[in-house]
Structure 1
C-alpha cells in the first residue's frame, strides 16, 4: 500500500454540502482510495472492498466498482445516481471521464486525478441543482421519498433544494413520484389521407442537399460531389409507381465517408413535404436509429420543429408503460427498497423526449444499477396493453409516438418493426407507409430471417400462455400479468357468446407450457401436451447432437423423430386446434361489434376492439397456425422452402429453452412478398451491399471486370429479395473518398497456434498496449472473448489502459460504445453487435484486432442455405462481407488513421475483402506489434 497527499477543495456554498465520505476508484487488480483527510492510497482489490464495506465511499458506477473488486455490491454514494436525479434524460458515459465531459470539468490524466475528480463532480451537480431554486417542482417530493427509503444522497439533495436546516419545510407528501399526473395529453388530429404522387427530380435532390450543407457551420458544409450524386440518385425511389405491385427500387452502395445519410434524407424530406406523407427510414439496430436521428438535426436544427417533423418508432416493448410505473409506485409501502430506482425513473419519465427506454434518452447504465425489474421491466413487454381502458391512455408514450408518426415527415424505425408491420398488413393504425429507406441494407436478410421465423419452444409457449391467461397461482411479482379476461371482459360484458368464447380460450390455453415448465421436464414431471412434446424434443437433441461438453446451444435435425415424438406432436397439434377454434370465434365476434354497434361505439372503444382483434391475430392465431404446420411436418415432410430443426438453447452452459424451430431458407421471399406489394418506393443502401469492392480493381480486362460487378449485383439482389419482386430497379455504386492505402495498414498474423488461448491473449495484450489504447478487439465466440479478457485485464490496468468488454461488463452494447468513444485511450472487446454498431471517428478507434476469420457457423440452417445458394462460394461471400464491415469501422473521416490486424491466416482468395489499394501483409506477431507502434506513432 502507498499513500500521498492531495489538496482539499475550498468549502462549497451554504446550500451545497458534501457527505463526509472517502473516495474509491477501482481498476482491475488495484484501486485508488482517498480517505477523509485527503490522503491517497493505492490498495489491492481485497483491501479496497474491506474498506468500502466499513464506510460507504463516493464512487462512479457502484456496480462496476464492485465487479472490478470481485466482491458483492456495497452501500455507496454513486455519482451516477446523483447525475440521473439532477440531469434526467441526459447523456453521460458512466465513467469519471464521462462525468468530466458532461459537466465541463478538466479530464483527469491518471487514476489519482480521476478519483480526485469525483468530489468536484458532486459539488458541480449539487450547485447546479441549487441554482434552479423552485423551478424544479418535482425534485423536493421525489428526493424526500428517496431519502426516507435510505438514499445516501437524499439529505444533500434536499439541502441543495433549500429544505435543509434553516430552510423551508419540505412537504412530506408522496406526490413527486406521480409523474403521470403532470404529463401532457396527446391530441387526436384528422388523418392526412393518401400520400400525394408528386416526384422529386434529381436536381431537386441536389438542391435540397446543398441547402442543408449551407446551413451547417462545420467542415461538413464542404461540397462533396459524390454526396450530391447520391442525393440525386436517391430521388428515383420517390418517383410515382407506374404499375400496382411494382415499386421503384434503388440499390445504392456508397463507401464510408460518402455522406449517404444526409443524401437520402435530402430526397426523403423533400418528398414528404411535397406529398404530405411520412417517409420511413429503417435501420438494423436501435443504436443506429439514434445516429440517423442525430443527422436529422442538420435538416431541422430548431428543436421544436424537429420534434414535430421527426419521430423515432420502435416496438411497444421499448417504451415505459405508465400503468406499470403507477402500479410499482403503489407498491412502495410494501417495497420501500424500490424507492430510489422508482424515484429516478419518475425523474426521467417527466423529462424524456418520448419514453424510449432502449437506445433513446434513457441512461443505458441505469439497468445495471437497479436491475431489470424496476427499469426495463416497466415497459409493455408481454403485449398486455389494455389501450383506452387504461387510465393513462391519453398520456401514453406509445400512443403519442403512434400519433406523432402519422403527422411526421420522417419516421426513423428499425428493420424488425417494419417487417412485422408489413407481415401483419398494417401498422398501429392499420396502414402501411409507401416509401422506405433501408439503411444498413446488408442486414435485411438477417432481419427478415428473424421476423418471419417460427419457434415452438418452451419459452414462447409460456409467454403465449401468460398473454392469454395472465397471472396464475398467485405468483409473486405477477400483478402486471394482465390476461385476456382482464383486458377484454368490460368490452364483452353484454355479449354472452363472446364471453363464452373467452372462457373457452382460457380453458384451452392450458395446453401451453406453464410457469416452471423447464424444471418439470428436467425432473421428468411434464404436465400437459406441450411439456410432453418438449421433453421428447430435448431427448432428440441430446441423443443426436455433438459438443455437449461445450457451453453453446445444441441442435439436431427434425427427422427422423425419436420414439414417441411424432405421437406427442399429434397430441399437441390437437390441443392447439382446440385453442385456435375459440380464438377465431372470439376475434370474429369482436369484429362483428364494429359493424353491429357502429352507431353507438365511441372512438376509444372502436380503437380498442380493433386493437384486441389485431392482437388475437398477430399474437396468437398466426404463431399457433405456424406451430400446427411444424408439428404436422414431423409426420409428413417439411415444405422445401423451410428448414426445421430441434434445439436446446443455452446461456453460459445452462439450458434455458428447448423447442422446434422453423426458418425460411430464403427469408427474402416473405420480405419481398410483404413489402413488394405495399411499397411504392424502396431505397436500400449500405457500404457493403455487394461482395465486390467499389474501387477499380487490378483487372486489365474491362469486360471481365464489368461481368464480375454484374455478378456481384445479381448476388446482392438475390439476397435482398429483389429477384422476388416485380420492380423497376436502378443501381448506384460510389467509392469511398478516403485514401485507405495511406490511412490504414492490414496485417495478417500467421504464427499463432490456433486454439491456444494463452497465445491469443498475449497477442491481444501486445497489440492493445502497442496502440496505447483506442483499440477494438473483435471475437467470433463469446467464450474466447471472456478468456482473453480475464488474461489481459491486469496488464492493461498496470499500463493505465481502461478495458471494457461486452458479455463481461454488465452494460448494454450502446453504453459500452459510448464509453469507448468518449475515452480516447480505452479498449473495447466485443462480438458481432459491437462490430456492426460502432461509429467511432478520431483517435478513439485506431486499431482493430480480429481473433479469427469470421466463417459462418455451420449450423443446420446455414447448411441448408449453403446448399441452396452456391456452396463454398456462399460461405466465402458472407465471410468477405463480414471482413469488409469490420474493416469499415476503422476509418470514419478523412483524418483518421488505423491498423486492422487479423490473428488468423486468411486464404488469398479472400484478400479482396479489403480495398484494392491496400496490400495486406502476412507477418509474425512481433512484426505486427512493431508495425502498429510505428504506423500509429508516425
Structure 2
C-alpha cells in the first residue's frame, strides 16, 4: 500500500490502535471509535469491530474483503487470529500481537495476488470497478495487478459477467430403474475396511454398526412396508463411514442413488468431507457425489445479472457484487449457504447483496431464463439424477416427498437419516401451516411481483404473470384464469400490513381484517405480556367478530384458489394435448410451473381454508394443534397469525417419505431415551422417527461408544447458585470459564439471560486474556461463531439451542460446557398438546434428557478429549443422571468446589 493506514483491533472492553509509525496505543472503545471516525483503519471484520465499539460501521481497510478477493471460495475464521492462521503467520494472542500481524497479512495477500493474477485477468476489471466505487483496497489491489501496464482502462463491469465463463450442463438419457440386489452384512464390513485402510486403528464397534445398518438395503416384500433400521451409535463409533459403507455398496450394485440426509447444512459439509475416503480423486467424486439443498441456497444468475446491470444507478453495490463475482468464478457449485461462500462475507457486504440474490421466493422462470443452461441449481439437480450418493438435508427431503418427487423427478428408494433425533422437529416445520401476515404477504408478492416497482420503485421480484405469460399466451382459458388469480391475490395482506393491523384501522381487505382481530384476541388473553417473548392464546372461544372474519376470508381465498387450481390443471392438459409438439425445455418449464403453483399457492391456500372453516367448529381435528400468536423479537412484534401443526408430525413424514421407500436408516448418537426402561426408551425412538406409523416395527441396533467417559469427563450440579439471580449466574460462569482457561461454551435457555451474563463477564475474561463471543451480540451467524470458537482454543462462546446443535469442536477448543439451568421444554400450546398425547411428565423428561445428552455429547469428539459439564441449577432432578453415560458420576457440589475440580481436571 502506498501509505500504511493505522491498525485497529477491538475486544469487548478495550482496543489497540497501531499508528503508521508503529506506536501501540491501548484505548477505551469510545476513544478507538473516535479515531476510527477520523481516519480509516486497517482491521479484520468491520461490522463486528463497530459492534464491539458500540458505533455504526465506519470506512475501513477490512482485511476480510481483501482475503475474499484474493482467495475466493476459501474460508478463514474472521478474526485477526483466524486470518493469521490461514496465511501461515502464526497465532497471535494479545491484542498488540494481533494488531502487528494485520499489516503483514495485508502484504502477504497483495503479494499473493500479484503472483497469481495479471493485467489481463478478469480480476483487474472487477478491482477497477470496485476502486471507482471507492473501495479502500482498490488502489493497492490495482497496483498489485500491474494496472499501469494495461493497454487501456478495463471495460466497466466486464469481470462481473461471470456467467460468460461458466460451462453449460448437458442432458443425459433417463437413468434405468434401480436394481434389487441386497447388501450382505459381511460385504458392508469389507467395504468399511477398504475405506479405513490398512493403517487404521481397529474399531469393532464401527464394523458392527455397518453390518447392522446393511439390513436396510434389502428389497422390501410389501408395498408401503420398508426395511427401517433405527441405529443408535455412541460418539466415537464412526457412524458416518459406518453407513457410507453399505450405502455405497448398494448404489454400485443397483445403479441408483442413496440419499444421505442430515439436519443442518454444516453437517452436510462434514458428510461430504468423509466421502473423500470413498472417492479420493476429485473428478470421480464430482460424478458420484452431489450435495443437494433447496433452490434458496444457490446463487441465481439472473438475479445476479440484474443486480450487475443496476450498478450504473447503484454504484454502492460495486464492492459487494465484485466480491461475489470473485466467489462465483471459483465456487464448486454456487452454494451460498453452508457451501464455499464464507458466512462472514454476507455480514460484510449485507445479506441482501449476497443471500438476497438467491431464488428465495420461488420466482424462477426455468427454461425462459437466459442462464438456464448454466444454472447452478439445474446443474445440481441433473447431477443428482445420475449420482450414486446424494448428500441432502431433512427439510429438502420432506419438501421433495410432499411434491411427489419434486425437481428430482422421482423419490429416492433408499435413505440414511443422520442426526435422526431431529426428524421430529424437521417434520414439524415441513408439514405445518401458518396463516400469518408474513406468509400471506409472501404469497401476494409471489403472485403479483413487486407492487412498489409499478409505483415508481425498482425490484427484481417477478410476479406470476411475468414468469408464465408466454406459457399461456394465445390460450384464452388459461389467460383468463391467470387474470382471475391476479385479481384474487389482492385479498392477501399487502406491504405495510403490520402497521394497519396493529392500529386496527385502515385494514386493506379480508386478510388484514382477520389478522387485526387475531392480534386483538392474543393481546387480550395471552399471559406474560411484559417479558418480550412471543405471545399466544387458544383459538376458542373466538372473540367477537373473529368467526365472521374467518368465514369472509375463507370465501375470498376460495376465489383465489379456484383459478390457481384451474391454471395448474390447464397447464397439465397442455402437456397432454401438445405432447407431440412441445420441446423438452418447454415441457420441463410447464412441469416446474405446475409444481410451483402446487407448493407455493394451492397447498397453503387449501390448508388455510381448512383452518378457517375449523374455527367455526367446536374443536380442531384431533391430529392438529391450532393457536393464535403474535411473534416477537426483542419485544417487538414481527408477525401475527393463526398457526396449525400436527400433534405428531412424524405421521405425514412416515406417509410421504418412509412408506414410499424400500429401505431407510434413522441414526444418531442420541436416538433412544435414557429413562432407565430399555423398552420405553426404544418406543421413544420409534415415536420420534415415525416408525410407529409403519406396518411393522423397525429393526433396532445399538452400538456403544468406545470412549471412557468416566475417565474423560466430569459432571457437576452446582447447588448454591440461585438460577434466578443473574449476578450469581454470571459470577459462576465467569469463574468456571477462568478455571478452564477458555475453551468454554455457555448455553442459555433464554436470550435475555445470555445478554445479561455477557454484559457482566466480558471485561474480566478479557483482562485474563480470554476472548468472549456471543450469539445475538457479535453480529455473526452461528456457523461463523462456531468456526471462530474452533480456531481459537482459548476463546469462550455464549449461545442458545442453535449453538448447541451446531457445535462439533474436537480437541481442547471445547473442554467446558456450562448450562444456565435445566433446559425444560418451553411450555407453549404446541408442547401442551404433545405432552397430553405422548405421556405427560414422561414426555417432558424425554425432551429435557435429549437436550442434556446432546450438549454433553459435544465434549468428547475424539479418544483423547477431556471435558467438564456443569449445570447451574440446584433443582436438577436426580432422575436426569440417566441422561449421561453409565459410570459418570452426577456430582452435586458447591460452586467453589466445582471451580476447583474443573481447574484440577483440565
Query: TM-score when scaled to structure 1?
Result: 0.95
Whether 2:197 is the aligned partner of 1:214: answer yes
Q: Secondary structure at the match of 2:702?
A: strand
User: What is aligned with 1:55?
Assistant: 39
Partners in 1 of 2:2 and 2:825 — Cα distance? 55
Counterparts of 1:547-558 in structure 2, within 5 Å, are 547-558=528-539
Shift of 1:665: 0.5
2:136 to 149, 152, 170: 152
Partners in 1 of 2:880 and 2:750 — Cα distance? 21
2:76 to 83, 92, 112: 92
Moved more, 772-781 or 186-195: 186-195
1:408 to 387, 392, 409: 387
Count matched residues. 902
Whether 2:848 is the aligned partner of 1:848: answer no
1:623 to 601, 604, 608: 604
Whether 2:155 is the aligned partner of 1:185: answer no
Whether 2:500 is the aligned partner of 1:520: answer yes
Moved more, 105-114 or 493-502: 105-114
Moved more, 889-898 or 172-181: 172-181
Counterparts of 1:878-897 in structure 2, within 5 Å, are 878-897=847-866
Counterparts of 1:526-675 in structure 2, within 5 Å, are 526-636=507-617, 637-675=619-657
Q: Secondary structure at the match of 2:698?
A: strand
Whether 2:248 is the aligned partner of 1:269: answer yes
Whether 2:300 is the aligned partner of 1:317: answer no
CA deviations on 1:443-501 (whole Å, 9 max, x unpaired) are 11111111111000010000001111111143676521111100010111111110010
User: What is aligned with 1:326?
Assistant: 305
Shift in alpha-carbon separation, 1:852–1:107, aligned structure 2, 3 A: same
User: What is aligned with 1:176?
Assistant: 159
Partners in 2 of 1:115 and 1:727 — Cα distance? 64
CA deviations on 1:47-106 (whole Å, 9 max, x unpaired) are 111111111111011111111111121110000000000000001110111112211111
Partners in 1 of 2:903 and 2:153 — Cα distance? 60
CA contact (8 A) 1:741 1:918 kept: yes
Counterparts of 1:434-833 in structure 2, within 5 Å, are 434-474=413-453, 478-523=458-503, 524-636=505-617, 637-692=619-674, 708-727=677-696, 729-833=698-802
Whether 2:62 is the aligned partner of 1:78: answer yes
1:909 to 879, 882, 887: 879
Partners in 2 of 1:167 and 1:518 — Cα distance? 54
Shift of 1:135: 9.2
CA contact (8 A) 1:22 1:35 kept: yes
Shift of 1:710: 2.1
Q: Secondary structure at the match of 2:118?
A: helix
Whether 2:99 is the aligned partner of 1:115: answer yes
1:338 to 314, 317, 320: 317
User: What is aligned with 2:8?
Assistant: 24
CA contact (8 A) 2:719 2:873 kept: yes
Shift of 1:522: 1.6
CA contact (8 A) 1:688 1:885 kept: yes
CA contact (8 A) 2:269 2:338 kept: yes
CA deviations on 1:811-870 (whole Å, 9 max, x unpaired) are 111111111001010011111111111110000000000001011111001011111111
Partners in 1 of 2:476 and 2:458 — Cα distance? 29
CA contact (8 A) 1:248 1:727 kept: no
CA contact (8 A) 1:27 1:68 kept: yes
Q: Secondary structure at the match of 1:489?
A: helix
CA contact (8 A) 1:247 1:681 kept: yes
Shift of 1:735: 0.8
Query: TM-score when scaled to structure 2?
Result: 0.98
Partners in 2 of 1:107 and 1:267 — Cα distance? 42
Partners in 2 of 1:181 and 1:416 — Cα distance? 33
Partners in 2 of 1:278 and 1:727 — Cα distance? 25
Q: Secondary structure at the match of 1:589?
A: helix
1:281 to 252, 260, 284: 260
Moved more, 489-498 or 130-139: 130-139
Partners in 1 of 2:457 and 2:696 — Cα distance? 51
Structure 1 residue ranges without an equivalent (≥5) = 1-16, 694-704
Shift of 1:727: 4.1
Partners in 1 of 2:12 and 2:857 — Cα distance? 31
1:104 to 80, 88, 94: 88
Shift in alpha-carbon separation, 1:208–1:150, aligned structure 2, 3 A: same
Q: Secondary structure at the match of 2:797?
A: strand
Q: Secondary structure at the match of 1:249?
A: strand
CA contact (8 A) 1:163 1:169 kept: no
Shift in alpha-carbon separation, 1:457–1:603, aligned structure 2, 3 A: same
CA deviations on 1:250-302 (whole Å, 9 max, x unpaired) are 11000000000000011111111111111001101111111111111111121
Shift of 1:174: 2.4
Partners in 1 of 2:15 and 2:388 — Cα distance? 51
Partners in 2 of 1:313 and 1:244 — Cα distance? 27
Whether 2:240 is the aligned partner of 1:244: answer no
Whether 2:894 is the aligned partner of 1:924: answer yes
Taking only aligned residues, the RMSD between alpha carbons, in angstroms, comes to: 1.3
CA contact (8 A) 1:281 1:436 kept: yes
Structure 2 residue ranges without an equivalent (≥5) = none
Shift in alpha-carbon separation, 1:234–1:76, aligned structure 2, 3 A: same
Shift of 1:109: 3.2
CA contact (8 A) 2:691 2:697 kept: no
User: What is aligned with 1:10?
Assistant: none
User: What is aligned with 2:833?
Assistant: 864
Shift of 1:728: 6.0
Shift in alpha-carbon separation, 1:725–1:798, aligned structure 2, 3 A: same
Shift in alpha-carbon separation, 1:136–1:681, aligned structure 2, 3 A: farther
Partners in 2 of 1:769 and 1:875 — Cα distance? 34
Partners in 2 of 1:214 and 1:854 — Cα distance? 42
1:898 to 858, 861, 867: 867
Shift in alpha-carbon separation, 1:904–1:685, aligned structure 2, 3 A: same
CA deviations on 1:638-667 (whole Å, 9 max, x unpaired) are 101111000000011100000000011111
Shift in alpha-carbon separation, 1:148–1:137, aligned structure 2, 3 A: same
Partners in 1 of 2:411 and 2:399 — Cα distance? 11
Counterparts of 1:294-443 in structure 2, within 5 Å, are 294-443=273-422
Whether 2:207 is the aligned partner of 1:224: answer no
Partners in 2 of 1:675 and 1:39 — Cα distance? 64
Q: Secondary structure at the match of 1:365?
A: helix
Shift of 1:162: 1.4
Moved more, 129-138 or 155-164: 129-138
Q: Secondary structure at the match of 1:134?
A: coil
User: What is aligned with 1:701?
Assistant: none
